[in-house]
Structure 1
Amino acid sequence: MNRSDTTTVAGPVRVLVADDEPMIRAGVRAVLATDPGIEVVAEAADGHEAVELVRAHRPHVAVLDVRMPRTDGIEAAAEIRRTLPGTGVVMLTTFGEDDCILRALGAGAAGFLIKSGEPEELVAGVRAVADGAAYLSPKVAARVVAHLASTGAGALAERREAARERVAGLTPRERDVLAHLGGGLSNGQIARRLHLVEGTVKAHVSSVLARLGVDNRAAAAVVAHEAGILPPPPPEQR
């Protein structure tokens, strides 16, 4: 099951936090506690424990540090997405872990946050992933695109051209949906922006993923950023 098939969570968003540093876990818990609609149900000190606690508690979202002992966050994310697809994964990264971000993307993580980012981003990211959206911190999105451009895959201009060619195969409505995916919106939010029913948006998202040849919304969001497709601002910001 893809996160694109999920709906808005009813009741508190149940979260697991995994980091091998107790102070980081405490900080993440404290930030999430500022939102009364989020409940931290378990904490883990490594990836192996995180997977076991996800199985036990079935949280809506698992917030995983990339680097942890025994099983790292990327391996844990892949196992969680394989065996417990109802739990979305948010990765906590640092600026020095661009390659890890790409590996986590391949493992099915739907959210990427920089540890040094604003606390509000953590709450927004958890809520977005719980609602079935992808959440790329703007800093993360920029780093991913820059890192891809610096690899053997080609220069930034070539990657942008390749992304535009992939997007060219989409219908105008699918392009609209992709732009909002790049903005981290959930199906319900996209439906309201585009004045569509949520079921129609869900179908468009599935089509976009298939046409782009990607497995999840976060990967589609990266394509949107590479292609330079951004959603229009909300009406109140125009």
Structure 2
Amino acid sequence: MPYDHLDLLKPAPFSVLLADAQPLMRLGVAALVDAQADMHVVAQAASLNELQALRAHHRPDVVCLDIALLDPRPAEHLAALRHGETASRVVVLTQRAGEEDIYRAVCAGADAYLFKDSPAEQLLQGLRTAHAGGRYMPPAVAARLAARLHGGVLSQREMQVLEQVAAGHSNKRIGLAFGISDGTVKSHTKRIFHKLGATSRTGAVAIAVQRGLIAL
């Protein structure tokens, strides 16, 4: 067969490392990626340890992962993937839809963030955009990030009080835990309600969980 010299002009497919604890999810994404002419899967990881080892070995152009795999310090591990000598572009494909989850991932360096129920075309666009050095977020993700950026941001102390409220602790117990008065706890609680748009403790906790601020 004659050698087609035009093949020399074609860029090599970029490499993708998949990381997800769910085997069927990895299988489906791998089939989608490998069906494309401009990308291919070099390895699959089912745990954080596997991800770190395979990334060091293969040095993929793009890592496509479920951020849940990086618990309990997802932002720290994501930043490590994104920077350093073996830095890779990072595409997050996850079920975590909280505003805070998205915000923290983007701040840590995620190049794309998609939900697992996203259309295949969006995932492919996210992979290609990330590889090209851009940032990609579909409309649903962008809207939640915008809500986080324009919403009230809780201070460190307010977050601590909110976690205590979520645990069902009284103002008195919260005050004793932090060495502050009941009145100060009430002031923190009022500010939390205002920033979250809540009118009760239960409502504040529900909104915080929905936004990804806390997990129950």
TM-score (norm 1): 0.55
The one-letter code sitting in structure 2 at the alignment partner of 1:138 is P
1:149 maps onto 2:170 in alignment? no
SS of 1:135 mapped into structure 2: coil
CA contact (8 A) 1:61 1:89 kept: yes
The residue that corresponds to 2:43 in the other structure is 42
Q: Aligned partners of 1:74 and 1:28: how far apart in 2?
A: 23
Residue-by-residue CA offset, 1:19-66 (whole Å, 9 max, x unaligned): 111111111112212312211001111223212211110111000101
C-alpha contact (below 8 Å) 1:16/1:54 kept by paired residues: yes
CA contact (8 A) 1:48 1:76 kept: no
Task: For 2:76 and 2:54, locate their aligned partners in 1 and report how far apart those are by CA, in whole Å.
Answer: 15
Tell me if structure 1 keeps the 8 A contact 2:99–2:147: no
Distance 2:73 2:120 in 1: 23
Matched to 1:102, the amino acid is Y
The RMSD of aligned alpha carbons is 2.2
Within 5 Å, give how 1:208-223 maps onto structure 2: none
Contact 1:65 1:73 in 2 (8 A): no
Query: Is 2:131 the partner of 1:139?
Result: no
Give the direction of change, closer, same or farther, for the CA distance of 1:122–1:99 in structure 2 (3 Å limit). Answer: same
**Quick check: 1:111–1:135 contact (8 Å CA) kept in 2?**
yes
Moved over 3 A (4+): 69-75
Distance 1:123 1:151 in 2: 33
Structure 1 residue aligned with 2:77:
76
Q: Relative to structure 1, is the Cα distance of residues 69 and 141 closer, same or farther in structure 2, using a 3 angstrom cutoff?
A: closer
State the alpha-carbon separation in 2 of the partners of residues 138 and 17 from structure 1. Answer: 23
User: What is the identity percentage for the equivalent residue pairs of Structure 1 and Structure 2?
Assistant: 35
Between 1 and 2, higher relative CO (CA 8 Å, sep ≥ 6) is seen in 1
Q: Show the 5 A alignment for 1:67-216.
A: 67-68=68-69, 73-84=74-85, 86-94=87-95, 96-152=97-153
Which shows bigger deviation, 141-150 or 73-82? 73-82
Q: Rg larger in 1 or in 2?
A: 2
Q: Which residue of 2 aligns with 1:17?
A: 18
Give, in angstroms, the shift of residue 86 of structure 1: 4.0
* Structure 2 residue ranges without an equivalent (≥5): 1-9, 155-216
**Ranges in structure 1 where 5+ consecutive residues have no aligned partner:** 1-8, 154-238
